[in-house]
Structure 1
Amino acid sequence: MASATGKRNTKTEAKIKSAFTTLVKSKGFEAMTVSDIARTADINRGTFYMHYVDKFNLRQQLINDTIDDLTRILVERVNPTEPTISQAGKSVVDVFQSQSIAKALQYVKNDYTFFDAISQSGNDMSLYERFKDVLKRLIITQAKHRDAEPQTIYNGIPADYAMEILVSAVASIVWLWIRRGCKESPEEICLIIERNKTTAPADILW
């Protein structure tokens, strides 16, 4: 997390994050002030301003840190040698590897109070869209590892739409899980994502 001084103070920033999460739940994001955050974190206002410009900058930096962590889990540890699966007579890479997804979901569950606070702070869709961007990066990264030639059409669907369909399905499942309180285990959500890969929308309706 970048601070005004360019130095990272994990302990102080952890206290500020905890205070932010608590105050969003108790007062709401709009009502909280920097003084509230400093008092709850047991720091002075000057210390807060050494790390963040204001509460909006704090929220954005927390989201940025979260996306950075998810990127490391999902993208930077990608395994291009993961075995392929057979679908409709074609060999395709399982771009959303269960092991990586499970680690990402466990990360979310471990920090659920923060994700719950963000969803109540009026900025949850920003995090949702950023999460979709991470999934897109994952697909692009794996394609580069496999030296796959980019296509403009996938099964009759323009590439941009095909990408959106793919990442939106996974992101929506994860987001519903968060809004439901992360009640299911990461393994259960991974199973739902796996089943979604081979389940047509019409199969759900009928």
Structure 2
Amino acid sequence: MSVHEKMNSETKQAIKHALISQIEMVGFERVTVKELALTAKINRGTFYLHYTDKFAVMEDIQQELLHHLAECVQKIRLLDATHTIQAGQLYPPFVEVIHYIKEQATFFRVLLGEQGSPVFSIGVKNIFSEQILQNLIMIQADKLDMEFSKYLRAFISSAVLGVIQEWLANGNEQLSVEKLSMIHFRLMKFLGEMWSYN
């Protein structure tokens, strides 16, 4: 990466962080380009070299987060996860997902919170539900009708999103990636035992 590219990248990151900071303080609707530039310590002309408006910044943030999240989630295989959990171990691909969310915790917390973006929440759920669907088709396509599969996807993706939102809302600094992974492991094990009991 050239010096110019590095400076451009750093400026864009400063603008993204400024937007998240402003959303936390005043909400997205009240964010202005003037305040974004001030917060990012750039002038308005520099802002417009990178983005047309605050909506473009928001779109860039969401696309980047969803792209990297999808890359992590695509490594999850439900069958492998089940075997790993049954063996009493944490499932590494899910730990990787949590690691990524932890790295970008401020962005995820704001975008998934009350001041955030419903579109982003739907995007996160879609990433999980799409991967779940592919896994279900591979595992037992002959046993699941389409209607049940649809609701099972919604149930699992909402549950995963709910755990992540709870973690972020309650301060992910107090609960490490490993501890959240262990809670996820216990939840999956608990549900598995409950279903097998019935």
Structure 2 Cα separation of the partners of residues 191 and 163 of structure 1 = 22
Given that 2:95 and 2:177 are in contact with CA atoms closer than 8 Å, whether structure 1 keeps it comes out as yes
Cα drift, residue 34 of structure 1: 0.5
Within the alignment, does 1:170 sit opposite 2:169 as a pair? no
Superposed CA RMSD: 3.4
Overall identity of the aligned pairs, in %: 25
Kindly provide the amino acid, as one letter, of the partner of residue 31 in structure 1: R
Within the alignment, does 1:15 sit opposite 2:14 as a pair? yes
Given that 2:22 and 2:31 are in contact with CA atoms closer than 8 Å, whether structure 1 keeps it comes out as yes
Higher helix share: 2
Kindly provide the amino acid, as one letter, of the partner of residue 115 in structure 2: S
Within the alignment, does 1:150 sit opposite 2:141 as a pair? yes
Cα drift, residue 134 of structure 1: 1.2
Q: Deviations over 1:135-165 (max 9, x none)?
A: 1232244457xx54634737xx711111112
Cα drift, residue 70 of structure 1: 0.7
Cα drift, residue 78 of structure 1: 4.8
In the alignment, what sits opposite 1:161?
151
Given that 1:24 and 1:120 are in contact with CA atoms closer than 8 Å, whether structure 2 keeps it comes out as no
List aligned pairs for 1:23-42, cutoff 5 A: 23-42=22-41
| Change beyond 3 A, Cα 1:180–1:151 | farther
Given that 1:28 and 1:120 are in contact with CA atoms closer than 8 Å, whether structure 2 keeps it comes out as no
List aligned pairs for 1:51-66, cutoff 5 A: 51-66=50-65
From 113, 117, 121, the equivalent of 2:115 is 121
TM-score (ref. length: structure 1): 0.72
Unaligned runs of 5+ in 2: 1-6
Higher strand share: 1
Unaligned runs of 5+ in 1: 1-7
